[in-house]
Amino acid sequence: MEYHHISAERLTLGRVREIIGRGLKLALSDDARRRIVRCREYLDRKMEHPERPVYGVTTGFGSLCNISVGRDELTQLQRNLVMSHACGTGERVPSEIVRLILLFKIQSLSYGHSGVQLATVERLIDLFNADILPVVYQQGSLGASGDLAPLAHMSLPLLGLGEVECGGRVRPAAEVLAERGWEPVELQSKEGLALLNGTQFMSAYGVWSLLRAQRLSEWADRIGALSLDAFDGRIEPFCDAVHLVRGHRGQLSTARAFRRLLEGSELIAREKRHVQDPYSFRCIPQVHGASKDTIDYVASVLETEINSATDNPTVFPDDDAVVSAGNFHGQPIALAMDFLAIAVAELGNISERRTYQLISGSRGLPNFLVARPGLNSGFMIPQYTAASIVSQSKGLCMPASVDSIPSSQGQEDHVSMGSNAATKLARVVLNTERVLAIELMNAAQALEFRRPARTSKHLERLVADYRRRVPFVEDDRVMYPLIEASILFLREA
């Protein structure tokens, strides 16, 4: 059994992909254990001689921060916090994202600035390793005091409350804990706040979306290259000289990727009658490239976030300080996730335009890419579907981070809405995957009308693999299973 050891070493996005993709188990490094224990012991000593109230440790929460709580009530204070904040609603968070939430919460608590018990972190690791996933809901977080509602649902099973998904079934957490012989955790001072404060919900959605966006960016190039060749497009707009005089890194790398993908193509090399291609082909380096640069930027922001302590107050044993501040505020990643949603949506936007060009009856291709249009509607309606999805994504690109609704009697008077940015980003990613899958259907279909001429070896292999899942359409047939098969091809290939 292979383990990933939680430590102060930087957790890269590549490593996150490995942990989730390969099903690695988690374990605390010796250093992480020392950090957690040292911080907890410091906080316990601090509690023995409290000189002044400490927010969330000896006081209430939010606008109740000026109400002190007796020493004998501190455990109940933390338990009450978790129970009262579990106010999520809406759709359930997918299991693969819940696993990321657990991973990022464990990482954040491991730095020794949160004051949690070692037993609390170990129980979170137990849940992750046993694939016992708390039931969390998508709606309820303002993304400012951390992701309070969703992280409260994540935390309920620690107390033997709430529900978990285990073995494909949703069950009461108390039953599952009893079967494992696990006693509920008795929270100590500050622990409920450490669990609920933090950006792990929005970070998990952000990282899940980013990893998908990276793959979709690669697919957009492959599919775009196939569409360009099937459309009898020109390769000149992809030459280095054009992109070197502008200098954007993503633009240049896109142009070079297209030249590699199309190397050896009979179609791209043949003489062209037309002088120019439409923008959806000619400007692919500029559009795909800008999305690539955005993806790279957002990756740097999210990687910084998942390697951060984001609860409150922050405990500094070396400085003998417990500071109530605002690391839980999601603004740094809320802005980035809104930006990424736009960048990913644009990959879908230009993809739908290429699909439209392919079915338009231009450049010797038949109307709607069927041999007998009129009797057959062919690929008319998949373009409608793509257009509908693209329109929805445009609506979802309204930035969530520009909104703020004050809460907690005005104490929490500016919020990031990062959780909303994160969940709608995920929808945009899935939408763009569908739009690209529809373009691939059209590009592969169009290529057959260029035979016997062939595209590059790389793209011919791609089409051959694709044809094992999605057939050429001779006459009208039920199309939605082909769209679904095309989506799964992108996801699994």
Q: Which sequence positions are flagged as catalytic? A: 55
Contacts of 492 (CB under 8 A, 6+ apart): none
Is residue 470 within 8 A of residue 437, CB to CB? The reply is no
Is residue 333 within 8 A of residue 206, CB to CB? The reply is yes
Q: What are the two backbone dihedrals, phi and then psi, of residue 250, each rounded to the nearest 5 degrees?
A: -65, -35
Query: What SS3 class is residue 84?
Result: helix
Nearest-angstrom CA–CA distance, 323 and 295: 34
| DSSP labels, 6-42 | E-SS---HHHHHHHHHTT-EEEE-HHHHHHHHHHHHH
Contacts of 429 (CB under 8 A, 6+ apart): 209, 212, 213, 216, 344
Q: What are the two backbone dihedrals, phi and then psi, of residue 161, each rounded to the nearest 5 degrees?
A: -120, 170
Nearest-angstrom CA–CA distance, 89 and 24: 30
Is residue 466 within 8 A of residue 485, CB to CB? The reply is no
Q: What are the two backbone dihedrals, phi and then psi, of residue 453, each rounded to the nearest 5 degrees?
A: -60, 150
Place of tokens 């620690």: 158
**For the chain, what's the residue count?**
493
List the one residue out of 315, 297, 415 whose CA is nearest residue 108.
315
Query: What SS3 class is residue 163?
Result: strand
